[in-house]
Amino acid sequence: MSTTGSADEPRWLDDDERTTWLSLAGVVTLLPAALDAQLQRDAGLSHFEYMVLAMLSERPSRTARMSELAGLAHGSLSRLSHVARRLEEQGFLARRACPEDGRVTNAVLTDAGYAKVVATAPGHVAAVRHLVFDALTSAQRRQLRTIGDRILGQVNPDGSCAG
């Protein structure tokens, strides 16, 4: 199988690219599952739910437009709307009309939501440290950030929220 490809043939991965891709595919599949498992076990939250709460906790007034929050949490507006409803039912988030533009909905982190983030963050950070950073040198961490930024730029060139 040729890796050069032609107009009619795909540009196949060479052995090094294939091995690298399979390693990355494993990370992309298994890391989110491991983070979800830790968060579900320790806090009853999915990774996406935690990211929504955490991103709001870092915003001024713990408030963000739903469209902005979707991008910050790396999800679609549709996915965020479903998650926001569940988080609202649990008392962690409130949705309110934007005072500057009534057509826009803001997500607001409640005091209970902030307390949930504060209680959940240490375990989540420990899991991230164990699963990702403890396995890398400082040079590899910098490389990983550079590589992640480059791939994100290809996957999401306009910076809008993902999938």
What pLDDT is recorded for position 5? 55
Tokens 């649990």 belong to: 90
What pLDDT is recorded for position 58? 95
Going by C-alpha positions, the residue among 63, 50, 70, 59 that lies closest to residue 124 is 50
List 106's β-bridge partners, or say none.
Answer: 65, 96
DSSP-derived secondary structure letter, 109: E
- Domains annotated for the chain, with CATH where assigned, are 39-155 (1.10.10.10)
The residue count of the chain comes to 163
pLDDT digits (tens, 9 = 90+) for 80-98: 999 999 999 999 999 999 8
What pLDDT is recorded for position 102? 78
Assess whether pLDDT exceeds 60 at residue 161. no
Banded model confidence at residue 60, pLDDT cuts 50, 70, 90: confident
Q: What is the mean pLDDT of the chain?
A: 92
